[in-house]
Amino acid sequence: MGKILVLGTFHMSEHEELYAENRQREIEQLVNELASYKPTKIAVEMVVEGHENLNRKYNDYKQGKYHLEMNEIFQIGFRLGVKLNHEQIYPIDWMGKSEMGYGEVEQWAKENQPELFKKIYEGLSIPELTEDKSLLSYYRELNNPSFHNKLHKLYVNLARIGDFNNYIGIKWLTWWYERNLIMFSNLSRLIESDKERILFIVGVSHSTIVNNFLKESDLCDVVEPLPYLK
């Protein structure tokens, strides 16, 4: 069976301070650690339709014509791809329309089921990237199984928001599950041999659900990221 490592990430586009020299060195350090996994393909959280544009940028970067935008797809994916001489990067996401947005579900719960809302979110602490915290340390926190379990439990319990025949939480969750199932489906298409070692760089909230689909499918070996975040 092939192997897949799902690297839970934060969205670097919200952190322009990562252009600082010390942070850029830390990104290189992270890339070096991930290189020890020796991925044969790098998959990223971008819609499939973006494949041509993404790889145009990737080819420009390989030729020294493209300055990396502050996004984990470029800062990690592109650097690692070039380091390992990969021909392309693989976008595998899908972003169809949902019946109700996550924020709308959250707001409805705050107004109509405040006790349930409080219960669903209690005990969840989201790690933050602070000035005194290295990028590798932050990625270790983001990929800690205990944090993953708490985050996944939150999403599952959103199904409880609403009432009989008024399934508010599920109006968003059906889209969430569909999106993650499509990512799993697209990952499966990248496994072309038993020697495949795929790295999937994706927002940490997707880590558990995608890993669950991979494990339940018995399609591949799921590789834990922590040993590659030393």
pLDDT (tens digit per residue) in 5-37:
999 999 999 999 999 999 999 999 999 999 999
CA distances from 80 to 88, 143, 188 (A): 11, 19, 21
Instruction: Answer yes or no: pTM beyond 0.75.
Output: yes
Q: Say whether pLDDT at 129 is over 90.
A: yes
What is the DSSP pairing of strand 41-47 with strand 197-203? Answer: parallel
Q: How many domains does the chain have?
A: 1
Asked if residue 120 is part of any domain, the answer here is yes
Residue 208 inside a domain? The answer is no
Please return the burial class of 227, using the count of CB atoms within 10 Å of its CB with bins 0-12, 13-18 and 19+.
exposed
Task: Kindly state whether residue 215 falls inside one of the protein's structural domains.
Answer: no
- Is 216 among the domain residues? no
Question: What's residue 230's pLDDT?
Answer: 87
Residue range of the domain that includes 67? 1-203+221-230
- Given a contact cutoff of 8 angstroms between Cβ atoms, the answer to whether 169 and 160 are in contact is yes
pLDDT digits (tens, 9 = 90+) for 92-124: 999 999 999 999 999 999 999 999 999 999 989
Range 148-157 average pLDDT: 96
Residue 1 pLDDT more than 90?
no
* pLDDT in the model for residue 123: 86
For residue 138, count other CB atoms closer than 10 A to its CB: 19
Distance CA 187, CA 183 (A): 6
Structural domain contains residue 214: no
Answer yes or no: are the C-beta atoms of 171 and 15 closer than 8 Å.
Answer: no
Q: Tell me: the pLDDT tens digits for 42-87?
A: 999 999 999 999 999 999 999 999 999 999 999 999 999 999 999 9
Q: What percentage of the chain's residues is helix, strand, coil (to nearest 5)?
A: 55, 15, 30
| Count of C-beta atoms within a 10 Å radius of residue 159 | 15
Residue 112 inside a domain? The answer is: yes
- Tell whether 35 is covered by a domain: yes
Residue 186 counted as domain residue:
yes
Which residues fall within 8 angstroms of residue 87, CB to CB, at 6 or more apart? none
The backbone region for 208, taken as left when phi is positive above 0, alpha when psi lies in -120 to 50, beta otherwise, is: alpha
Query: Tens of pLDDT along 200-216?
Result: 999 999 999 999 999 99
